[in-house]
Amino acid sequence: MAMADMRPPIESGCPDGFQYMHPAMRRNFGQWKYHTDPRPGVLCHVAESGETVYTVKCGTQRILDLFTLRELTSIGDEYADGYIRFTIRSNVEYTVTDEAKVEPLIKALEDKGYVVGGTRNSVTTLSHTQGWLHCDIPGTDASGVVKSMMDELIDEFRQWNMPNRVHLTTSCCQINCGGQGDIAINVQHTKPPKIDHSQVSNVCERPSVVARCPVAAIRPALVDGKPSLEVDEKKCICCGACFPPCPPMQINDAEHSKLAVWVGGNHSNARGKPTFQKLVASAIPNNPPRWPEATAIVKQILKCYKEDARDWERVGEWVERIGWPRFFELTGLPFTKYHIDNWRGARASLNASTHIRF
Amino acid sequence: MAANKIYETPMLDELEKGPWPSFITGIKALRDNHESQFINDMTSSLLGQLEHSYETRKGYWKGGTVSVFGYGGGIIPRFSEVAAAFPESKEFHTLRVQPTPGNYYTTEMLNKLGDSWEKHGSGLVTFHGQTGNIMFIGTTTKGTQAFFDEINEYGWDLGGAGPCVRTAMSCVGAARCEMSNCNEHAIQRWLVNNFTDDVHRPALPYKFKFKISGCPNDCQNAIERADFAVIGTWRDDMRVDQAEFKNYIETKGRQYIIDNVITRCPTQALALNDDDTIAVDNRNCVRCMHCINVLPKALRTGTDKGVTVLIGGKRTLKIGDLMGTVVVPFKKLETRDDYEELVELAEEVIDFWAENALEHERCGEMIERIGLVNFLEGLDIDVNPNMVSNTRQSSYVRMDGWDDEAIKWFENQAEA
């Protein structure tokens, strides 16, 4: 097609949300007074005007086929008021103004296999990334990990059993697109990249790859007479940062790309300042299709947290109160030299006091 | 209809077991039951390749260059490295489409998007990707253009991909949350729609993300993840309904309130009076939200609302995780001028970063490298003690400009 025949885009950017918002939300925008939690998976918000909206939240598989999407919209048409929103963790929320519509809506969702819950002090849906289904650099398949874990945590999604809300995340590489979570299950590579020297000069911009390495372990080299790259394997931290700009630096390995579990990531400013997650377990097999070893560790941590944490403590706050020695004692996980940080700023994570637990 | 070729998927079949909704069952439904032969074949091939990944524990997609006419980004190109074995999904590109702030849809609009997608794509979609886009997963280069042309006509535009301003995110916000302190919807659209050129034509050092949360609970993870985080807050006194507070004491018990509210305040700004009312030391309240979260009927944010802006949050690559840093402790957002000032700040931040960052260096990494003060001076923003957790601990700094800086401080204080 000639360029002149191509359709120029309308650069409309981010669309106006008000046109898709439930009328009760439009009417009471910025005028909400308080909320209550009538039952797990349901929120009730009351406006200054006295108007009330009920929100029913349900978990989905996130990778939606159009049959599922249409089922969700037809439930919205029949049992709700024709409006849907999605949360940051890909849960679906329906809004109704009539309390009598809440139970039939829940029943309709549950009859079709959707899971109502994920509010307040529950374990909500794992936020996750694309994995083998679509990503170009994944070490695992996030959707499969999530399905496997949520199958086992489904009652924790449906109920309010946890001390506070639990956000789980998973990521398929160490870029960690899944983000911070109370518990994060992330790929951790353990061997340096295997380099296909015949391809490097064809597909990689070598200076950019050298610059990408966080520890300056990559340098240009001539291999078999061709320009390539070499890795100082003693320096290499196996992070995989060189792989996206240079696919011949194959970091993913069926055996040596493992999973690691991190705890204590918290976005909220409530009580303490936001925190990043900390390593608790690694060398967990990347074991499709059900990843049982990773799920077992997550469940063990959740069990200890549920039994031992105080109301409103997030996982990270609980560990901070009881201390790391007690965390490893309770969970039965090993404490190793790899738990001691040596990255920049690491000294701030060392104990420079006599605050010791016995 | 049915796919021309069905692949054995014994490992994926395991993911159809169990009570949580299964994405594999969904993809199989497209393979077996959809009326489009294109969708049957593409999803069948996809399942074949995915099973191959499960067997070998490797991914088989590579990137490339695919774009719609007039744009340089917004598509995630995927070409299969195993197309010989799974030819019908040899091209499997994703379109990133910008949702509304807060992710609102009518069922009618979702169905309309579905109608367009099944004409031109695989029938797989995600609400939403981690940056916040609607992800229309899987189509050919030709399908990419055709689908975009269709949905662009009824109000949807591509998001960012690559080194550019990315799609923004905001929480449910003022539409349905009493904790909200700002109009998240307006903020997101003012900000990101000022940069549509930078969204669609990647030309920045690396990605740049805006995220907006209406209160310090920061449900959008903005401080952790956004280069430019806007968080709603307030600066007057918290609103207290003492009658409702007494109701909480009666229903939950005094001990519960002491253990879960009074003693959990990070700055000890709360006290329980002998008459079962609550006393709030608002000067020492840091707006953490905890007591409001626990007692939403009794305690509310104040009414002198505005936002805090934090700059430089990001994840691991390359120097390690960084939280955003307070750059604007409080800003009112009421008038058109207020919003224009916020947009100007974003323009100045992006311009300074674009000029001074190294290739593939996020804004927060640049600030780490050059120091916050150099960044602030580049933007002509005055220092403020709210920007630090503590003051300098090292004496290794040249301070012969002290007197001038002190005069500046007192002058600014006098103006405020």
pLDDT digit string, tens, across residues A36-49: 999 999 999 999 99
Asked whether B384 and B329 are in contact (CB, 8 A), the reply is yes
Q: Do B177 and A17 touch (CB under 8 A)?
A: no
Q: Do B176 and A288 touch (CB under 8 A)?
A: no
**Out of A72, A150, A208, closest to residue B20 by CB:** A150
DSSP code of residue B314: B
Residue A67 pLDDT exceeds 90: yes
Task: Kindly give, in sequence order, each residue whose CB lies less than 8 Å from that of residue A81, ignoring residues fewer than 6 positions away.
Answer: A22, A95, A96, A97
What pLDDT, on the 0 to 100 scale, is given for residue A344?
87
What pLDDT, on the 0 to 100 scale, is given for residue A237?
97
Chain A residues touching residue B264 (CB < 8 angstroms): 271, 312
Q: Do A88 and B169 touch (CB under 8 A)?
A: yes
What pLDDT, on the 0 to 100 scale, is given for residue A308?
98
Neighbours of B115 (CB within 10 A): 12
Q: Any long-range contacts for B48-52 (C-beta under 8 Å, 24+ apart)?
A: B48/B5, B48/B7, B48/B9, B48/B85, B48/B86, B49/B80, B49/B82, B49/B85, B49/B86, B49/B89, B50/A132, B50/A133, B50/A141, B50/B9, B50/B12, B51/B7, B51/B8, B51/B9, B51/B10, B51/B11, B51/B12, B52/B82, B52/B85, B52/B86
DSSP code of residue A265: -
Residue A24 pLDDT exceeds 80: yes
Chain B residues touching residue A67 (CB < 8 angstroms): 26, 29-30, 33-34
Here the tokens at position B340 are: 């224009």
State CA A115 to chain mean position distance.
19
Q: Stretch A58-66: mean pLDDT, rounded? A: 96
Candidates A133, A191, A252, A349: best to mutate against B (most CBs of B within 10 A) is A133
Asked whether A195 and A248 are in contact (CB, 8 A), the reply is yes
Q: Do B167 and A14 touch (CB under 8 A)?
A: yes
CA B376, B382, B388, B391 torsion-angle sign: positive
Task: Kindly give, in sequence order, each residue whose CB lies less than 8 Å from that of residue A303, ignoring residues fewer than 6 positions away.
Answer: none
Residue B323 distance to chain A (closest CA, Å):
8
Alpha-carbon distance of A324 to A273, in angstroms, equals 19
Q: Do A290 and B61 touch (CB under 8 A)?
A: no
Residue of B nearest to A180 (CA): B224
Closest CA to A261 of A326, A311, A328, A307: A328
What pLDDT, on the 0 to 100 scale, is given for residue B363?
98
**Out of B59, B157, B217, closest to residue A136 by CB:** B59
Alpha-carbon distance of A158 to A233, in angstroms, equals 47
Q: Do A64 and B26 touch (CB under 8 A)?
A: yes
Residue A3 pLDDT exceeds 80: no
β B79-80/B61-62 pair status: antiparallel
Alpha-carbon distance of A269 to B339, in angstroms, equals 25
Percent of chain B at pLDDT > 90 equals 98
What pLDDT, on the 0 to 100 scale, is given for residue B320?
87
Q: Do B34 and A66 touch (CB under 8 A)?
A: yes
Alpha-carbon distance of A133 to A131, in angstroms, equals 5
Interval A304-330: pLDDT, tens = 999 999 999 999 999 999 999 999 999
Residue B1 pLDDT exceeds 80: no
Q: What is the ipTM of this complex?
A: 0.96
Alpha-carbon distance of A21 to A3, in angstroms, equals 39
Interval B119-167: pLDDT, tens = 999 999 999 999 999 999 999 999 999 999 999 999 999 999 999 999 9
Q: Do A34 and B300 touch (CB under 8 A)?
A: yes
Chain B residues touching residue A140 (CB < 8 angstroms): 57
pLDDT bracket for residue A1 (50, 70, 90): low
Alpha-carbon distance of A275 to A182, in angstroms, equals 10
Q: Stretch A138-158: mean pLDDT, rounded? A: 97
Chain B residues touching residue A343 (CB < 8 angstroms): 320
Chain A residues touching residue B29 (CB < 8 angstroms): 65, 67-68
**Out of A13, A138, A311, closest to residue B199 by CB:** A13
**Out of B117, B153, B175, closest to residue A29 by CB:** B175
**Out of B59, B220, B318, closest to residue A135 by CB:** B59
What SS3 state is found at B228?
strand
What SS3 state is found at A36?
strand
Residue B348 pLDDT exceeds 90: yes
Q: Do A34 and B296 touch (CB under 8 A)?
A: yes
Tell me the sheet residues that pair with B233.
B306
Q: Which residue, chain included where needed, has tokens 């978990």?
A: A59
Closest CA to B20 of A147, A81, A295: A147
**Out of B104, B130, B220, closest to residue A85 by CB:** B104
Alpha-carbon distance of A328 to A318, in angstroms, equals 13
Residue B318 pLDDT exceeds 90: no
Residue B109 pLDDT exceeds 90: yes
DSSP code of residue A339: G
Neighbours of A358 (CB within 10 A): 3
Q: pTM of the entire structure?
A: 0.97
Asked whether A265 and A320 are in contact (CB, 8 A), the reply is no
Residue A4 pLDDT exceeds 80: no
Here the tokens at position B236 are: 């007057």
Interval A97-106: pLDDT, tens = 999 999 999 9
Buried b (16+ CB within 10 A) or exposed e, A7-28: eebeeebbbbbeebbbebbeeb
Alpha-carbon distance of B213 to B374, in angstroms, equals 27
Residue A13 distance to chain B (closest CA, Å):
5
Q: Do A343 and B69 touch (CB under 8 A)?
A: no
Asked whether A180 and B224 are in contact (CB, 8 A), the reply is yes
Q: Which amino acid is at B242?
A: Q
Supply φ then ψ for residue A191, to 5 degrees: -130, 150
Strand segments, DSSP code E, in B110-167 are: 124-127, 134-139
Interval B50-75: pLDDT, tens = 999 999 999 999 999 999 999 999 99
Give chain A's length.
Answer: 358
- Tally C-beta pairs within 8 A across A and B: 353
**Average pLDDT, whole number, for chain B?**
97
pLDDT bracket for residue A302 (50, 70, 90): very high
Chain B residues touching residue A64 (CB < 8 angstroms): 23, 26, 124-127
Here the tokens at position A109 are: 């969702």
Residue A266 distance to chain B (closest CA, Å):
8
Q: Do A268 and B29 touch (CB under 8 A)?
A: no
**Average pLDDT, whole number, for chain A?**
96
Interval A111-124: pLDDT, tens = 999 999 999 999 99
Asked whether A14 and B193 are in contact (CB, 8 A), the reply is yes
**Out of A34, A59, A65, closest to residue B29 by CB:** A65
CA A252, A253, A256, A258 torsion-angle sign: positive
Asked whether B23 and A90 are in contact (CB, 8 A), the reply is no
